[in-house]
Amino acid sequence: MKLHKVFTLFVAFCLAIPTGAAADPGPPVSPTEVMVGDELPYAYFATPEGEGPFPVVIVLGGSEGGDMGSRGSPPRFLEQGYAILGLPYYSPGYLPPDRQLPDLPEAFDSIPLEKLAVARDWLRARDDVKGDGIGLYGVSKGAEFVLAGASRIDGFAAVVAIVPSDVIWEGWGPQAKPGEVSSFSWEGEALPFVPYLGMEEEFAKYAIPGETVRLRTPQDAGRRANPGRVPAARIRVEDIDEPVLVAGGDADNTWNSGGMAQNIAERRAEAGGLETVAMIYPGAGHALSGTGVQRTEGEFRYDEATLAAQQEIWPATLAFLAEHLKGE
């Protein structure tokens, strides 16, 4: 089984929905929605009710790809008085045809971090945007993206990374050979990364009734097997001057978001007490970007620990953004 094909299941796992249950593209998140333009294909901007200038949250989804992540969370922020910029950045071929974004890369291979600088500059040029009130919100691979980007690009008032990584991980795609591509790039160069070890074997368990698939297993194994590659692959979170909120679960089967969130908090503390909010939950899983309301559609339900964690993380996220983007 090739690695890019097994990520079809990876996507379903990260989204916490059954494979093939991708929703149809929804309507605009707001009547004010406009497309950003050719530099950021499929990225869109929308404002809440009222008159600006507005603080803005740039929203990035994870390995599900397409615009599902960048359209799932924004309505919550609009309700809280934030403008939003939804930023899709890759569109894997295994998405349903009506969810394909053909002008985005099909591979999660060397995605340019500079996309965040383009988004920042586009926002700053608008009269309805509070230029010193632009924040980043990323989930899973999107959290990896915003942390890596903010460590190199300034001009953001705050960074929220839900179920984050503290390193750059291996990428994937139709032409990618295992262990040879990075998820992200900077200035045209692929960033150092930590490879997986045993990802295909882990996915093979999906065919075995009753087996539990733990995607974090090949990631943890890759990290242990390649200690010499970890230092270069670490995201330099100590270079992020802005306040950072990270939230992770120690029972996360997708990757060790609890441990990696802890690593991020510790490195920022060692760097001189950079402002950091770390919310780590021993029993919680990967689905920590919810609002604490149980799902009622589909087969999936949040477990009790994850739901309880959401009920703390979402209001803490709103308070964090209100302080640093709105000045409340």
CB 112 within 8 A of CB 121: no
Domain that holds residue 145: 3-326
Residue 135 scores a pLDDT above 80? yes
Which distant-in-sequence residues (6+ apart) come within 8 Å of 257 by Cβ? 140, 163, 164, 165, 247, 248, 249, 286, 288
The larger pLDDT score, comparing residue 1 to residue 154, is at 154
Which distant-in-sequence residues (6+ apart) come within 8 Å of 14 by Cβ? 62, 63, 64, 140, 254, 286
Tell me the C-alpha distance between 254 and 235, whole Å: 19
- Please spell the DSSP secondary structure of 22-50, one letter per residue: PPPP---SSTT-EE--TTSTT-EEE--SS
Q: How confident is the model at residue 99 (pLDDT cuts 50, 70, 90)?
A: confident
Residue-wise pLDDT tens digits, 52-82? 899 999 999 998 877 777 787 888 999 999 9
Nearest CA-CA partner of 236 in 188, 259, 270: 270
Q: How many domains does the chain have?
A: 1
Could you tell me the CATH number of the domain that includes residue 201?
3.40.50.1820
Please tell me the predicted confidence (pLDDT) of residue 27: 59
